[in-house]
Amino acid sequence: MLAKNQVNDILSSRVESGGTLYLHCPICESDVGETEGLAGPMDGSPDGVVIMRCGECTSIYLSPARDVLGGSPPSLPVSVLRMNRIRTWTRGLPSTARVLCVDCASERHLRAFARAAGTDWAIEGTESNSRISHSSDSYDLIVLSHTLESVREPVELLRHLKLLLASGGRVVVIVSNVGSTGFRVFGGRHWSGYEYPATRQHFNADALHRLGKNAGLSVRNVTTMFASQSWLRSVKNWFRDWGVVEGWVSVVAGRWLVPQVIAAAIEGLAQLRGRGSLLVAELEKE
């Protein structure tokens, strides 16, 4: 038996002692890191943390880890969770499948999809749903959308989730991609994925492979996902950080069509090169 609380404990373990430069990569425990840039608030306040790239697994982690993470984990824009993407993840699921959304905003999207597909899935969320079973081996699909970026021990969380999975069950992980073209351009400070101060580590495809392996899950697939909004949010961060007047921020990052088309075109090219803004990993319990 596995208590839901154990998962929730990991999700809520966002408090740790503050200090100087973080000692280890939270994904692979390596202490060989290199500074990559600086993340911080975009409102002119001097606060900030160093962006470190792990020399071992090449993932990104912020250092020092925050005493208390602020804000909420980033919610996925509705547009990126398109129905065909959900269809891919849920292929082969029985009509009575149990689905768990962990600390993320995917729950409502999955509900919408289940309604449209006419399935009878039992969709639960760790935050809002109190009907989560405490028993192990019971879920067919677990979705973590932008959850792993903010938990303190991502490997530990996946290990616990593995216990909740039924045999052959899957975990779908969606994270911002530090192997993306967007990160190459804005990764020094303004990259939308940082979501300062809500996140503490970020992944590329290699890091997700390593994460799945360390958690004892087999990696079925890691692909990138189209998300043009991340470009606009990065530009918005840049403009805000450099004190550009709000009117221009709205023009570029608001609902104006031209910037959106440009961002979509750039992201489309990046996606074609396998450098889309988001990563999706499908991990399976064998």
Partner 1 sequence: MASAAKDANGQNDARIAVLGAGIAGLTAANDLHRRGLPVQVYEAGKAIAGMAQSVKDERGFTYDFGAHLITNRLAAALGVSANCHTVTHYDETVFLGGKTYSFPFGLLRSPKFVLSAVKSRLALGSSNAADSAADWYRANYGHKMADEVAIPLVEAWSGVPAEDLSSSVIPPHVDRGISNILKLKVSGWASGRAVANGFSREKAESSHIWHMYPKGGVVELCQKLATGLEDNIAVETRIEAIMVENERVVGVRANGHDQDVAAVVSTAPLHILPKLVQGTTSLDHLARFRYRPMVLGSLRFKGRPLLPAVTTWVPEREYPFFRLTEVPQSVPWLAPEGMTIINVDIGCETNSDYYKMDDEAIGELCVEHLEQMFPGARHRYDGCRVVRTPIGYPVYLREYEAQRHALESGFPIEGLYSVGRNGEFAHVLMEDIYWRTLERMKELRAWYTSAR
Binding site for partner 1 (CB under 8 A): 18-21, 23, 35, 37-38, 40, 44-50, 63-64, 188-189, 241-243
CA dihedral sign, ordered 98, 102, 108, 112: negative
DSSP conformation class of 126: T
- Residue 142 parent element (H or E): strand 139-145
Q: How far is the CB of 243 from partner 1 (least distance, A)?
A: 5
Q: How far is the CB of 173 from partner 1 (least distance, A)?
A: 28
Q: How far is the CB of 262 from partner 1 (least distance, A)?
A: 21
Count of C-beta atoms within a 10 Å radius of residue 85: 18
**269 vs 173: CA distance, rounded Å:** 23
Q: How far is the CB of 229 from partner 1 (least distance, A)?
A: 23
Judged on CB neighbours under 10 Å (0-12, 13-18, 19+), 142 is: buried
Rank residues 41 and 254 by Cβ distance to partner 1 and give the closer one: 41
Rank residues 60 and 281 by Cβ distance to partner 1 and give the closer one: 60
Mention every residue, 6+ apart, whose C-beta is less than 8 A from residue 245: none
Q: How far is the CB of 144 from partner 1 (least distance, A)?
A: 28
Rank residues 19 and 268 by Cβ distance to partner 1 and give the closer one: 19
Distance of CA 194 to the CA centre of its chain: 10
> What counts of helices (H) and strands (E) characterise the chain?
9, 10
Mention every residue, 6+ apart, whose C-beta is less than 8 A from residue 24: 30, 31
Q: How far is the CB of 72 from partner 1 (least distance, A)?
A: 21
CA distances from 197 to 73, 154, 251 (A): 9, 17, 25
